[in-house]
Every structure is written in C-alpha cells, then in structure tokens.
Amino acid sequence: MSSNAPAVLTRRRPSIDIVDAKVAVDLATAQTYSENVFLFVPNLIGYSRIILAALSLHYMSYHPKYCTVLYCISCLLDAFDGHAARALGQSSKFGAVLDMVTDRCTTSCLLCYLTSAYPEWALAFQFLITLDFSSHYMHMYSSLITGSRSHKQVDSDVSRLLQMYYNPRTLFVVCAGNELFYIALYLLKWVHTPMSESLGMTGPLAEYTWPQLLAYVCGPICALKNFVNLVQLWKASKILVGVDLAERAKAREEELSKNQ
C-alpha cells in the first residue's frame, strides 16, 4: 500500500493547479472579454437553461402545457452545451459544474412538486432527490481529487457500468428517459382523457392516457438511472476512502523519515 501511495498522490492534473483561492478570484476578475469563461457559448446555453427551468417551475402548479414545453426545452439544451464546448474549444470546469448543478436542481424541483401531487410516495421522491445529489456530488469530488479532466471520464477498471453510462449517446437516452418518466407522472395529474377519446385510437392501449403509456415506457429507464446513481455513489465512496488511506500511508512514511 505504501509503495503505491506516492504515485496516487503526486499525479499532476493537466491544468494549472491554483492553491490560493484569492489567486483564483483575481484571475476570474481580471479575465478579458475574449477569454471570459462566464461568456463562453456553452455557459450562455447553461444560463438559458436556468431561465427556462425557472419559468417552467412558475407555471408548474397551474399551466401544465407551458410548464412541460419549457421544462423539455431546458432539458434538451443540455445535449447542446457539450457539443458547443467541444466544437468551440470552450470546455471549462465552471461549465461542467454549472451543467451538473442545473440538472440536479431542475429535477429536484420537479420531484418536490411530485411529493405534493403524490403524498403517499413523498418518501420515495425524497429518497430520489437525496440519491441524485449525493451520488453526483461525491462522484464529481472524487473525479477532481484524483485529477480527472471531467467527471464524465471513467476508466473501465474503475467501473465498466459508469464508463458505458457516460457514453454521450447512452447518457442522453438514459437522462431523457428519466426526465420523461417524471414529466409523465406530473402530467398524469392533468390528463385524464383516454386515447380512445383524445386521439380516436382503438385496441388494448386505447383506454390509457398518453402520459400513462409514457410512464410505462420510461419507468424502466428511470429505474436504471437510479441504479447507476447507487453504483456511482458506491464507487465514489471507495475512491475517497482509497485516497484517505493513501494519504494516511504517506503521512506515516513522512513521519518515519523524520524520525530516522
């Protein structure tokens, strides 16, 4: 264990290491217009997502159409900021954190509404909020502390499941399915007309409403997403414990070297 500790602890990040927070604040304050991270196109998309999400929350309790459209647009824009960052060379740690925080807060606000719409399932929704925040926070922190350029870069020797999950296409499908399931639960409180009446459908599915069918289709994807959250939380916990053990081993080695 002690022989591996220095390698783990001394691996350098590919970016500049800033130790003093005051230095970081000064750099951000003095940034030029041409290199202003706050004004990077992906981050501007992120700000628009926040505005759209806020508007959707405003309409959530009394106008389901406006709420759903605004919420879906906000979620869909999440697929564009990453492409813009790579195409324009404007990837940033601020943008990555902004994107993750926006996702977590937007979904949590919808789940908070669902706790009032389905009080009998309030504890389950509260658990999902807690799991989502804790899983992503610990995963991002463990990624930063081990020098990863992005929390979406996961080696197969750490977790094959997480590596597959963070594939851009897989990530889009799973996240979209997860959000659509929650949206379907929201719309179930507003849409009560079966498709036999609203769309003139016939057959065994005609007596269901379209939010019910959407919930049935996306429910398994939501279950998969939260299983991945559990795996992510566990893996991140193990990484942080491993770093703790490595740091303790290094501290013991340094103490021994001082006493010799």
Whether 17 has a pLDDT exceeding 60, the answer reads no
Mean pLDDT score, 126-152: 92
d(CA 68, CA 60): 8
Mean pLDDT score, 120-135: 97
- Which residues are designated catalytic? 103
What does the H/E/C string look like for 167-234?
Answer: CHHHHHHHHHHHHHHHHHHHHHCCCCCCHHHHCCCCCCCCCCCHHHHHHHHHHHHHHHHHHHHHHHHH
Give the model confidence (pLDDT) of 156-192 as tens digits: 889 999 999 999 999 999 999 999 999 999 999 999 9
14 CB neighbour count, 10 Å cutoff: 7
Give the model confidence (pLDDT) of 194-230 as tens digits: 998 888 888 888 899 999 999 999 999 999 999 999 9
23 pLDDT band (50/70/90 cuts)? confident
pLDDT at position 1, please?
43
Percent of the chain residues topping a pLDDT of 90: 67
d(CA 174, CA 3): 40
Q: Which tokens is 257 given? A: 């070297």
24 pLDDT band (50/70/90 cuts)? confident
DSSP for residue 157? T
- Consecutive H or E run containing 89: none
pLDDT at position 34, please?
65
Could you tell me the domains of the chain? 18-254 (1.20.120)
Place of tokens 């324009």: 88
Whether 249 has a pLDDT exceeding 80, the answer reads yes
Whether 135 has a pLDDT exceeding 60, the answer reads yes
Task: Return the closest-CA partner of residue 105 out of 152, 145, 151, 51.
Answer: 51
d(CA 136, CA 235): 11
